[in-house]
């Protein structure tokens, strides 16, 4: 079995052996896909025969993690080229699949359709940003990095910019970016494991971690690559099946991507009807009043709290005096106990409640119409024009950061070291984007199909006739779905419903009326997405430390075996540290992920691209440019993002710190040009790079440079 | 090491195709994005700008990368800088 993923020593590769290897891979993964489908079918039959749901969850969890661990064990290695770059024999198609799994995190799999549901056109920034970035990877980086042919991104910086300082800054940025990102992934693993099996979140984190570690610990890049291919297959099947089913149910066409335009038309028509619906207006009016009451209280929270307390105490006393039923007294006492403890707590709670009431007093539950590009109105009054401009500017800035960040994330760029040639590196980027595209062009369809279902099946239905999945999800987690009959008419209005983005993907099988086994498969797909990304990231961090810091900078005489074992130990330490940080549940996931993109974009992109395309770029310039880019980005986040502001003790109104009203999520839009400018300006005043480095650049630019 | 004229040409052609493809990428992403509100005519049910964001631009990205890979792999052979089949 060990030979299945190529355990023979990495000798000089040759075309015939590579072709045979690829043919073998085709066979293995075809069997694997068939096996997975069979596994799901058997579970489906068992479910029909009455197997309890919690068992299905557990079987999915254990079977998939066991599978990944099995591949890890089969691919175990201590050879450096195998451990760091999978022996450089990964065919373009398989590297494309592995990159797809590496790339698509829990945020893509579970979060994205939800974001699209809630923000409509605005959410497309993620769709375009996370795919268009591959154009930059293909045109600027992948083939050249493959030709360079070392092990890591700091490797390239160190060689190109001559000296340890560029390498060292590269190590710092690679670790900063990957660590922020991996914390978000492990957090996702914990959430999904907890939901799939019902264990506690912290236990879920460590269970998932076990799966990650067995794989990357034993076999490094080789194990991670073959596991990621397996994970890609699971996650794409798990994403597609429910969407196709829902599409058949609504439109009787099994290709949702082709027909959802017509569903969008119907959604848009319904949006118009809902925004003038009498019942909706009634609900919105109630929220408007609530908001006004809260605003009144917020003028003097201490006095308002005292008044509330007195009223609640009086109610309890009155009920007790009147010998009311025990249940009523208990309700009144609970209401008294639920009041905020002091004025500060009251202010916080009421501010949040007012913000939520304000959202709900707007049409369509505060969502912009799905197909409408940008908020505000360019032909409206000054405020509407400003809203339009700001919204458009932020949309484009976010796309920019996500794209440039894509082309600078070390765990993605590293993947292009694993293919056999420059030619395959170019083809591999095409395959990567194709496999990513499959999921990304389905997500907007899913969002609209679910919105159609919500608008047409849920809204306007009496509360006691809602489908069963509504009640069961509202019970599982009220932050995902909660319904309250605000105007007491017994019928659900859109603004009476609060929906969390993550439910869109997770509940689709139930919305489409599929058996529970498909829900289990979707959760397993989300788990595969999170685990595969975490694998790649952990490996990047461990390699930066063991290969770049230890081998290249501290002990250049270290033996291969020693380097690989140091890498393994570090992997364990970093993984435990990341799991610990994730279990603290610090900042919100979306911010962590986008912070990683902005930081990578500002830190790496200018230095990497100028290093290949501009021979004059010098070492000191690159070091200063990387530091400047990251510093500007961090500074902007620290002064404008609420959680970071708390961390760094920044006070004063946020608007004083905002530049052109750009959101902190897109901080890289300032960091990238600053980094670029610093590298260019400093290069021009420092001596040109040596002849040796100039030759290295020539070497990288040509797949095969024969001396004339 | 001196580059031959053919090798110099290879790099120039590479820069040209890179610039052209990058320009297409820029127009599809940022120019279409900038005018999204005005490009809302119906396109098989979708408003055009929504379709571009959700599908059109993605398809163009895949085509850009695929074209570049093919073009460069041919250019390698044309200018004798392809990798040898070891």
pLDDT of residue A415: 81
pLDDT of residue B86: 47
Residue A9: partners with Cβ closer than 8 Å, 6 or more residues away: A79
Closest of A424, A97, A124 to residue A232, by C-alpha: A97
B39 vs chain A: nearest CA distance in angstroms? 10
d(CA A177, CA A435): 24
d(CA A695, CA A705): 11
Residue B23 has pLDDT above 90, yes or no: yes
Q: Can you read off the two tokens belonging to residue A427?
A: 């083809």
* Whole-number average pLDDT of chain A: 80
B1 vs chain A: nearest CA distance in angstroms? 7
A430 vs chain B: nearest CA distance in angstroms? 5
Tens of pLDDT, residues A460-499? 788 788 887 787 777 767 777 887 777 778 777 777 778 8
Nearest CB to B66 within list A143, A430, A703? A430
Q: How confident is the model at residue B33 (pLDDT cuts 50, 70, 90)?
A: confident
pLDDT of residue A404: 92
In this structure, of A3-12, A250-259, A565-574, A611-620, the range with the lowest mean pLDDT score is A3-12
| Pairs of CB atoms within 8 A across A/B | 154
The mean pLDDT value for B62-85 works out to 84
Interface residue of B65, B66, B67, B77 to substitute, partner A, most A CBs within 10 Å: B65
Q: Give me the phi and psi of A379, to 5 degrees please.
A: -105, 5
A454 vs chain B: nearest CA distance in angstroms? 20
Q: Which of A281-285, A531-535, A552-556, A677-681 has the highest mean pLDDT?
A: A677-681
Q: Give me the phi and psi of A461, to 5 degrees please.
A: -95, 140
Which residues of chain A lie closer than 8 angstroms to B57, CB-CB? 128, 131-132
d(CA A16, CA A20): 6
d(CA A445, CA A113): 8
pLDDT of residue A586: 64
Helices (DSSP H) in chain B: which residue ranges?
5-26, 32-34, 48-51, 57-78
d(CA A255, CA B5): 51
The mean pLDDT value for B15-41 works out to 86
pLDDT of residue A1: 35
Provide the chain A residues 84-123 that lie in CB contact (below 8 A) with chain B.
Answer: 121
CB contact under 8 Å between A695 and B53, yes or no, is no
In this structure, of A48-52, A654-658, A686-690, B72-76, the range with the lowest mean pLDDT score is A654-658
Nearest CB to B29 within list A128, A138, A263? A128
The mean pLDDT value for A311-322 works out to 81
pLDDT of residue B20: 93
Q: What is this model's ipTM?
A: 0.90
Instruction: Tell whether A399 is within 8 A of chain B (Cβ).
Output: yes
**Distance set, CA A593 to CA A111, A126, A405, A545 (Å):** 12, 12, 11, 22
Helix, strand, coil tally for chain A in percent (to 5)? 80, 0, 20
The answer to whether A516 and A56 have CB atoms below 8 angstroms apart is yes
Nearest CB to B25 within list A132, A433, A444? A132
Which residues of chain B lie closer than 8 angstroms to A395, CB-CB? 33
A273 vs chain B: nearest CA distance in angstroms? 18
pLDDT of residue A592: 78
Provide the chain A residues 579-638 that lie in CB contact (below 8 A) with chain B.
Answer: none
Which residues of chain B lie closer than 8 angstroms to A403, CB-CB? 29
pLDDT of residue A620: 85
* Cα nearest neighbour of A443 on chain B: B54
pLDDT of residue B60: 92
The mean pLDDT value for A350-377 works out to 77
The mean pLDDT value for A40-48 works out to 84
Instruction: Tell whether A437 is within 8 A of chain B (Cβ).
Output: yes
Residue A204 has pLDDT above 70, yes or no: yes
The mean pLDDT value for B17-24 works out to 92
Q: How confident is the model at residue A4 (pLDDT cuts 50, 70, 90)?
A: very low
Q: How confident is the model at residue A587 (pLDDT cuts 50, 70, 90)?
A: low
The answer to whether A225 and A25 have CB atoms below 8 angstroms apart is no
Q: Where are the domains of chain B?
A: 7-78
CB contact under 8 Å between B86 and A706, yes or no, is no
Residue A369: partners with Cβ closer than 8 Å, 6 or more residues away: A120, A268, A271
A266 C-beta neighbours (distance < 10 Å), count = 16
Residue A170 has pLDDT above 60, yes or no: yes
Provide the chain A residues 265-294 that lie in CB contact (below 8 A) with chain B.
Answer: 265
Residue A7 has pLDDT above 60, yes or no: no
Which residues of chain A lie closer than 8 angstroms to B28, CB-CB? 132
Provide the chain A residues 141-170 that lie in CB contact (below 8 A) with chain B.
Answer: 143
Residue A59 has pLDDT above 60, yes or no: yes
Helices (DSSP H) in A584-667: which residue ranges?
589-613, 619-640, 642-648
The answer to whether A233 and A436 have CB atoms below 8 angstroms apart is no
Higher pLDDT, A676 or A77: A676
Q: How confident is the model at residue B24 (pLDDT cuts 50, 70, 90)?
A: very high
The answer to whether A707 and A699 have CB atoms below 8 angstroms apart is no
Nearest CB to B11 within list A263, A388, A701? A701
Tens of pLDDT, residues A280-295? 777 778 888 888 888 8
In this structure, of A193-197, A358-362, A368-372, B76-80, the range with the lowest mean pLDDT score is A193-197
A129 vs chain B: nearest CA distance in angstroms? 9
**Distance set, CA B26 to CA A401, A496, A542, A612 (Å):** 14, 42, 36, 21
Predicted model pTM: 0.84
CB contact under 8 Å between B40 and A12, yes or no, is no
CB contact under 8 Å between A429 and B69, yes or no, is yes
CB contact under 8 Å between A698 and B3, yes or no, is yes
* Cα nearest neighbour of A701 on chain B: B11
């Amino acid at each position: 079995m060990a030979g299945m993923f190529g355990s023979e020593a990495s000798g000089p590769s040759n075309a015939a052996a590579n072709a045979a290897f690829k043919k073998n891979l085709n066979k293995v993964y075809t069997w694997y896909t068939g096996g997975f489908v069979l596994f799901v079918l058997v579970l489906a039959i068992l479910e029909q025969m009455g197997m309890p749901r919690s068992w299905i969850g557990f079987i999915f969890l254990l079977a998939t993690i066991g599978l990944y661990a099995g591949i890890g064990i089969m691919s175990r290695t201590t050879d450096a080229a195998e451990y760091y770059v999978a022996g450089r024999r990964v065919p373009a198609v398989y590297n494309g699949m592995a990159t797809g799994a590496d790339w698509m995190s829990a945020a893509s799999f579970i979060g994205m359709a939800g974001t699209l549901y809630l923000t409509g056109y605005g959410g497309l920034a993620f769709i375009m940003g996370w795919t268009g970035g591959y154009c930059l990877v293909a045109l600027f980086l992948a083939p050249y990095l493959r030709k360079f042919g070392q092990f890591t991104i700091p490797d390239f910086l160190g060689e190109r910019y001559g000296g340890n300082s560029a390498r060292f800054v590269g190590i710092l940025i690679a670790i900063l970016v990957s660590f922020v990102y991996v914390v978000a992934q492990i957090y996702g693993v914990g959430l999904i494991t907890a939901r799939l099996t019902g264990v506690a979140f912290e236990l879920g984190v460590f269970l998932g971690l076990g799966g990650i570690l067995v794989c990357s610990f034993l076999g490094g890049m080789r194990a991670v690559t073959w596991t990621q291919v397996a994970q890609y297959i699971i996650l794409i099947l798990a994403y597609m099946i429910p969407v196709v089913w829902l599409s058949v149910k609504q439109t009787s066409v099994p290709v949702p991507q082709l027909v959802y335009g017509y569903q969008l038309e119907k959604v848009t028509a319904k949006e118009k009807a809902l925004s003038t619906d009498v019942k909706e207006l009634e609900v919105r009016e109630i929220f408007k009043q609530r908001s006004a009451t809260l605003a009144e209280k917020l003028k003097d929270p201490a006095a308002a709290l005292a008044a509330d307390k007195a009223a609640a105490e009086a109610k309890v006393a009155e009920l007790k005096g009147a010998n009311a039923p025990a249940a009523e007294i208990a309700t009144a006492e609970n209401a008294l106990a639920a009041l905020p403890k002091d004025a500060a707590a009251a202010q916080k709670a009421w501010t949040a409640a007012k913000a939520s009431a304000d959202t709900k007093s707007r049409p369509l539950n505060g969502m912009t119409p799905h197909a409408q590009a940008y908020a505000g109105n360019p032909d409206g009054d000054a405020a509407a024009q400003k809203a339009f401009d700001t919204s458009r500017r932020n949309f484009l800035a976010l796309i920019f950061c996500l794209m440039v960040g894509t082309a600078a994330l070390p765990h993605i760029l590293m993947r292009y070291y694993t293919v056999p040639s420059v030619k395959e590196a170019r083809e591999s980027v095409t395959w990567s984007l194709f496999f990513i595209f499959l999921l990304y062009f389905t997500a907007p369809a899913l969002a609209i199909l679910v919105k159609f279902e919500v608008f047409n099946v849920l809204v306007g239905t009496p509360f006691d006739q809602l489908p069963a999945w509504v009640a069961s999800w509202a019970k599982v987690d009220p932050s995902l779905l909660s319904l309250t009959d605000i105007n007491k008419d017994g019928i659900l209005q859109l603004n009476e419903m609060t929906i969390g983005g993550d439910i869109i993907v997770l509940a689709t099988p139930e919305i489409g009326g599929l058996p529970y086994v498909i829900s289990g498969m979707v959760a397993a797909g989300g788990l595969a997405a999170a685990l595969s990304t975490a694998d790649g990231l952990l490996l990047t961090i461990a390699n930066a430390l063991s290969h770049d810091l230890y081998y290249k900078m501290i002990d250049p005489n270290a033996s291969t075996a020693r380097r690989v074992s140091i890498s393994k130990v570090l992997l364990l330490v970093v993984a435990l540290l990341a799991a610990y940080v994730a279990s603290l549940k610090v900042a919100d996931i979306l911010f962590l992920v986008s912070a990683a993109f902005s930081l990578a974009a500002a830190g790496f992109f200018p230095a990497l691209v100028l290093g290949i395309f501009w021979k004059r770029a010098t070492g000191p310039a690159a070091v200063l440019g990387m530091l400047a880019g990251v510093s500007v980005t961090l500074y902007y986040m620290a002064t404008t993002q609420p959680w970071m502001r708390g961390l760094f003790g920044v006070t004063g109104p946020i608007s004083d710190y905002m530049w052109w009203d750009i959101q902190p999520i897109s901080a890289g839009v300032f960091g990238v040009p600053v980094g670029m400018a610093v590298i260019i300006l400093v290069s021009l005043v420092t001596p040109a790079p040596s002849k040796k480095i100039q030759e290295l650049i020539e070497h990288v630019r040509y797949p095969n440079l024969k001396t004339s | 090491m001196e580059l031959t004229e053919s090798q110099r040409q290879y790099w120039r052609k590479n820069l040209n195709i890179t610039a052209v493809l990058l320009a297409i990428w820029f127009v599809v992403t940022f120019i279409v994005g900038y005018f999204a509100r005005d490009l809302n005519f119906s396109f098989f049910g979708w408003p055009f700008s929504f379709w571009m964001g959700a599908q059109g631009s993605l398809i163009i990205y895949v085509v850009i990368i695929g074209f570049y890979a093919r073009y460069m792999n041919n250019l390698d052979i044309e200018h004798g800088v392809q990798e040898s089949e070891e």
